[in-house]
Amino acid sequence: MYRIGEFSYLCETTIKTLRHYHDIGLLEPAKIDQFTGYRYYNDSQVQKFRLIKQLQEAGLTLDEIKEIIQDFNIVDLEKKIVKLENEKNQQINSLRDFIKRSNYVSSSNVEFTTNKGKYFIGKFQKIKNRTALNLDLKEFSNHPKVFINYEKNYKEKDILCFVGYEISKEEKNTISKEFLIKNNLEIIFNDADKIPSVIHALVNSSIMDTYIDIIKFASDNEIQIRGEFYEIEKDQRIDIYVEAYDLKVENLMALKHDKYLEQNLKNVYPKEYVGTWKLEGEIVELPRYFDTNNEHYIPDTELKELQLNLDGTTNFSHITWKENYLIINYNQTIVYDHFFLSNDKKYLTILVNCQYSNARPYKYFYKKVK
């Protein structure tokens, strides 16, 4: 047997390394003298140490090596190496996918273009997953299929959507209410008058990659995505559209609007707004799906509770109000947030603007507490 100093020569390593391997249970001495505390090693442990070094040079961690050489024998070692090799391949593939995403080059033809307006017939629904799409209407089997994604973030299940078919404006005018009621269908449309511009992309690789292309294109070109993704499939071609606005133009319009409000808002404080309002959540659902009885996401905002006083002050020193606008001072920059009451006057919705861009306002939903 060899004392630790001798063994370090045999293995061409330091005592510090051998002690560390002992402490973590990777290479324990064959014997420890209870009186002196000296560590002793045998010939077979030289081979074991050399295996550890080889596995380290192959890029394995000490924890992985420990798993391989546990109950060390050559027969089981082959099996463990194969198992670890498969796991490593998965890790390598994940890293390669990460690199691919990091250096992602658009595979879609993305453009910012005029909205021509589209009409759709189908159903609003929540589907288990994207493969669960199913709306079989023989009357429209030769029409382009449409999937409208109403989710504001990536989801793999319980997706809120509209599934149906694209129809022409002329066809829309010929479809009777009785037909819609009988088949539990609805007709919706993308209004070109209200939505002047869209981002359009042709799917070349995958739908999710095309979503990435659209989002990156919008970010790179100061374009704000504000609507839903419309996926339209025809003749094995999938086109994706989404409502979008040029912030270079929109921000100028917003500044003009704020200037108008600054000059025209009257010192009027409607009594129906006066009181204390507690934040119930952020509205992200379509209006048809919004239920005040449901729990909603509470954003990390200072506006958890808002007190509107009859003299135009609030419980915040930097926020006042007139008519139906909050007037917020963000470091000498004034932002006007519009608010409105529900029909029963129990609930207040505030359209909270983003102070950094003219993004679509957040909808904060409040309940009157006193």
Distance between CA 363 and CA 219 in Å, rounded?
22
How confident is the model at residue 178, as a pLDDT?
94
DSSP 294: S
CA separation (Å) from 21 to 17, 31, 55, 76? Answer: 6, 15, 14, 22
Would you say 312 and 325 are in contact if contact means Cβ atoms under 8 Å apart? no
Query: Tokens 């449409």 sit at which residue?
Result: 146
What is the second-level CATH architecture of the domain 109-246?
A: Alpha-Beta Barrel (3.20)
Q: The whole model's pTM is what?
A: 0.59
Helix H or strand E segment including 234 = strand 223-234
Among 40, 55, 32, which residue's Cα sits nearest to residue 10?
A: 40
Q: What is the pLDDT of residue 109?
A: 87
Domain ranges of the chain: 2-102, 109-246, 265-368
Token duo for residue 64: 């992985």
Mean pLDDT in consecutive groups of 10 residues from the start of the chain, 370 residues: 79 87 92 69 85 82 82 65 73 61 63 92 89 80 91 79 93 92 90 87 88 84 85 92 84 78 92 93 66 71 91 94 91 86 87 64 85
Residue-level pLDDT at 156: 79
Q: Give me the pLDDT at residue 89, please.
A: 76
Handedness of CA 224, 360, 290, 278 (dihedral sign): positive
Domain 2-102, architecture per CATH: Orthogonal Bundle (1.10)
